[in-house]
Chain A
Amino acid sequence: MSEYIIDVGKRHIKEINEEIQEAAKQGKEIHVVNTLSRHNLGVGLPAGAKLTFEGSVGYYCGGLNVGANIEIERNAGWACGEGMSKGHITIGGYCGMSCGAAMMGGTIHVKGDAGPRCGVAMKGGTIVVEGKIGYQSGFMAHSGRIIALGGAGASCADALWEGEVWVAGEVESLGVDVNVLEPTSEEVAEVDAILDPLGLTDSSRNWRKMVSGQRLWYFESREASAWLMI
C-alpha cells in the first residue's frame, strides 16, 4: 500500500491533526513531512494507525496514543507519548524532557538519549532508551518500567512510588528513597524479552534495578530532610 503524505509546514495544527485522523480512519499508512519541530503532532491517534514523521517533532507528539504505531525519524520535544495507553512510539534521535509522562501502557523506544524526568509519573508501560536517561528519570513513577542501556543522569529514580528503573552503565547519582537491587535471572529474562524484538539483547550487561525504598510512602516528620529534593 502506498504512503499517504501529509505536509505540515506553517498550517494550523488542528487542520493537520484532522487530516492525520481522517487518513488513519481510512487505514492509510501516513508519512508526515516538513514537520519543522511543530508541537502536538499526532495526538490521540487510534489503534492500528501507522505513522512516520520525517525529521524532528516538537512537544507532545503521539500523546494520548491508544494503539498507533508511530515512528519519529529524528528528535522529539517535551513529553513525547504523554498519557499514552497502548501502541508503540520509536524516536530515532534525542527525546526531550518528560518522555512518556504519565503514560499508562504501550512502549516508547528512544534510540538516542532521553532528557530529564523521563517517565515522570508513569503508571504503566515501558520506556526503552538506548542511550542515557536524563536527570531525575522515573520521578514519582507509579508503575511501569524504564530501561536505559547507556547509563543515567543525576538523581536517578527519584521519589519512585512503584515501578522500576533498569540501568546498564553508569548512574551519576541516585535520587531520594531508592533501593538498588541485583535483578534475578528470571527478571533479566523478562527484560530481555522486551529488548529482543527491538534487536537490543546483550547478555553481557551489568544491570542495576532501582525500586522505591518506600520511605516516602508515609510522611515521617523525623525524616523530613528526605523530602527536600534538592
Chain B
Amino acid sequence: MCGIAGRIVGGNGVLGRNLVDLMDAQEHRGADSTGFAIYGPIRDNGYVLRGMGFDKTKIDSDLADFENVLRDNGSDYLNNPDILTDENAHYCFRMEISDPKELIAWVHDADMLSDRIEVQSCGRSLEIIKDIGGASAVADKHNVRDMVGTHGLGHARLATESSVLPNASHPFWARPFSDVAIVHNGQITDYFTWRKKLERKGYRFLTGNDSELIAVWVSDQMKSGLTMQQALTNSISSIDGVFTYMIANTDGIGFAKDRFAMKPLVVMDRKGDLAMATEEQAVRRIFEDEGEVTNYDGPSMTALWGVGNRSIAA
C-alpha cells in the first residue's frame, strides 16, 4: 500500500505546501519514505540536479569525481552545490549545472558513479526531493513547503517489494530524459523479466524497487518516439501487476491504471486547478468544500491533464 498525489496549481495554491498537505493526509498509507516532484520555473538553459550520496564522510571526493565527469562532458557547476546532511549516513544535494554537450552521454557517465553518488532528477524545471520518513519530516528537512511551481507529484511509500533505502523512494526520474518523473502505487509482478529485457538494451537500474521499472520502461517508450498517451496506453497491456501510476513532464500529468482496477485515483478538477490523490480525504485538504469528485475506478484507464494552456498530448 502506497499513496500518490498530483497537483496542478491553477489558482493561488502554493505547490510545495499543497503537495505536503496531500501526502500528510495519506501518511497512514506508508511512512517509510516520502517524495515530491516539483515543476518550478522553466530555465532556458542549464539544468537543476537533485540527488544523494551514500556516505557523508566522502562528500569531498564524491563531488570532485562528479565535477570531473561534468567537465569531461562540457558542463560545470553554475554555483556551489547545496549539500544537506543529518544523522543518516547519506547526504542530499542540489546543483545547478550548465548544459552538457550531450545530456544522454553525460547521464551515462555520471551513472558510473551511482554506487557512491546518484543523480535523482535532472530538469530545466523538475526537482525530485525524496528521503526516508513521513511527509512532515521530509518536508521540514528539505523545506518543501516553500517550493513554488506549476505542478508536481507526491508519494508516500510502504515498502512491500524491496528495502527501505533513501534512494528507493519515489518519485523516480525517467533517466536520461530531463523533466520526466513517475510515482506508483501497486506492485509490478513481471519486474525481473522486464528488468532483464531493459538491461540488455543498455538501461541501468539503480535500485531494487519495482516501481523504478515504470520509469525505465517509460524512458524506453520515449526513446522509441511514443507520446505520453501512447506510453500510458501501452503500459496497461505490457506491464503485469497492479498499478495506478502518474507520470509528469513540464506540460502536465498523466496516469494509467491496470486491468484489474485495484488501486484508486480521485481527482477534483476546478477549471484546470487540479488535485489528485489515492484517497478523497487527501484531495479535500486542498478543496475543503464538497465539490464534483471524479473517481477513476474502472479497469485499464488513462488520463492526461495539461498545465494551463499547455497541451500534453502533442
* Residue in A38, A59, A134, A154 whose CB lies within 8 Å of B297: A134
Which residues of chain A from 48 to 99 have a CB within 8 Å of any chain B CB?
55-56, 58-59, 74-75, 77-78, 94, 96-97
Instruction: Tell whether, in the assembled complex, residue B280 and residue A154 are in contact, meaning their CB atoms are under 8 Å apart.
Output: no
Known: A36-B288, A75-B293, A78-B264. A116 touches B279 (CB 8 A): no
Within 8 A of A (CB), among B269-301: 279-281, 283-284, 288, 290, 293, 295, 297-299
Say whether B192 faces chain A, with CB atoms less than 8 Å apart: no
Cα-based distance from A92 to B31 in the complex (angstroms):
34
| Cβ contact within 8 Å between A116 and B293 | no
**Inter-subunit contact B284/A37 (CB<8 Å):** yes
Which residues from A are CB-within-8-Å of B261? Answer: 97, 116, 134-136
Query: Can you name 19 A-B residue pairings with CB atoms under 8 Å?
Result: A36-B288, A37-B279, A37-B281, A37-B283, A38-B281, A39-B281, A55-B290, A56-B280, A58-B279, A75-B280, A75-B293, A77-B279, A96-B264, A96-B295, A116-B297, A116-B298, A134-B261, A135-B299, A136-B299
Chain A residues near B264 (CB-CB < 8 A): 78, 96-97
- Residues of B near any A CB (own CB < 8 A): 259-261, 264, 279-281, 283-284, 288, 290, 293, 295, 297-299
Q: Which 8 A-B pairs have the closest CB atoms?
A: A37-B280, A115-B297, A37-B281, A116-B261, A55-B290, A36-B284, A230-B259, A58-B281
Interface of chain B, main secondary structure = loop
Contact between B281 and A154, CB atoms less than 8 A apart = no
Q: Is A153 an interface residue (CB 8 A)?
A: yes
**A56 CB to closest chain B CB, in angstroms?**
6
**Which of B283, B288, B299 interacts with A154 by CB under 8 Å?**
B299
Contact count band on A: 20 to 34
Q: A97: which B residues are within 8 A, CB to CB?
A: 261, 264, 297
**Contacts across chains A and B counted by CB atoms under 8 Å:** 56
Q: Which residues of A contact B (CB under 8 A)?
A: 36-39, 55-56, 58-59, 74-75, 77-78, 94, 96-97, 115-116, 134-136, 153-155, 229-230
Q: Which residues does chain B contribute within 8 Å of A94, judged by CB atoms?
A: 293, 295
Instruction: Provide the residues of chain A in CB contact with B288, threshold 8 Å.
Output: 36
Q: Chain A residues near B298: list those with CB within 8 A.
A: 116, 134-135, 153
Closest to B259 in A: A230
From residue A92, how far is it (CB to closest CB) to chain B in Å?
11
Assembly CA distance A229 to B299 (angstroms): 13
Given contacts A36-B288, A135-B261, 19 further A-B contacts (CB under 8 A): A36-B281, A37-B283, A38-B281, A39-B279, A56-B290, A58-B281, A59-B279, A77-B281, A96-B264, A97-B264, A115-B295, A115-B297, A116-B261, A116-B298, A134-B261, A134-B297, A135-B297, A136-B261, A153-B298
